[in-house]
Structure 1
Amino acid sequence: MEKEEIVNQPTREEVKQEMLNYLQQKYGEEFESQYIEYKSWAQKGHEVMLAFPKKGSEEDVFVVNRYQNGKKYEDGYIGLLMKPTYKGLIEDSLASFFKESKIVLNYKYVYPEAFDKETDFETFKRYANRKNNFVVSIYVPVDRSFSSEQLEKSFEKIKEELKKEISICSLTISCYLEEDYRKDVLEYVLEHPEKSSFPTSNRLFSKYDSWGKIDFDYEYEEGD
Structure 2
Amino acid sequence: MKKAKAILACILLFATILGGCGMEKENSNNEMYTREEVRQQMLEYLDDKYGEEFDVLDIVYKDWSRNWEKLYAVPKGKGKEYEFMVYRFKDENGEIYYTDDYFIIAKKDEYSEYLKTIIDQYYDEYRFRFYFSGDIKKKNNLDQNIAFDEFQKYADEHLVLDVQIFLKEDKEDVATVKLNQLYNYLSKDMSLVAISVFGFSDENYKEHILSKTSELDYSSYYSDFTVKKG
Is 2:60 aligned against 1:60?
no
Q: How does 1:120-199 map to 2 (within 5 A)?
A: 120-142=147-169, 146-192=170-216, 194-196=217-219
Task: Please say if residues 46 and 67 of structure 1, whose CA atoms lie closer than 8 Å, have aligned partners that are also in contact.
Answer: yes
Q: Does residue 5 in structure 1 map to residue 25 in structure 2?
A: yes
Correspondence 1:1-224 to 2 at 5 A: 5=25, 8-40=31-63, 42-68=64-90, 71-109=96-134, 110=136, 112-142=139-169, 146-192=170-216, 194-196=217-219
1:36-55 Cα distance to aligned partner (Å, 9 max, x none): 22235x25522211111112
Q: Letter of the 2:201 partner, please give it.
A: L
> In 2, distance between residues paired with 1:186 and 1:196?
18
State the Cα distance separating 1:88 from its structure 2 match: 2.1
| Alpha-carbon distance change, 163 to 108 in structure 1, aligned in 2, over 3 angstroms | closer
State the secondary structure of the residue aligned to 1:190: coil
Contact 2:183 2:193 (C-alpha < 8 Å) held by counterparts: no
* CA distance in 1 between partners of 2:101 and 2:72 (Å): 10
Greater CA radius of gyration, 1 or 2? 2
Root mean square deviation, CA, Å: 2.7
Residue aligned with 1:67, SS: strand
Provide the C-alpha distance between the structure 2 equivalents of 1:78 and 1:99, rounded to a whole number of angstroms. Answer: 31
Give the TM-score, by structure 2 length.
0.71
**In 2: Cα distance, 1:136 partner to 1:115 partner:** 23
Provide the TM-score with structure 1 as the length reference: 0.73
The answer for unaligned runs of 5 or more in structure 1 is 198-224
Say if 1:96 and 1:126 are closer, same or farther in 2 by CA, change over 3 A. closer
Contact 1:35 1:50 in 2 (8 A): yes
CA distance in 1, matches of 2:153, 2:101: 16
The 8 Å contact of residues 76 and 108 in structure 1, kept in 2 or not, is answered as no
- Runs of 4+ in structure 1 off by over 4 angstroms are none
> Would you say the 8 A contact 2:130–2:162 is kept in 1?
yes
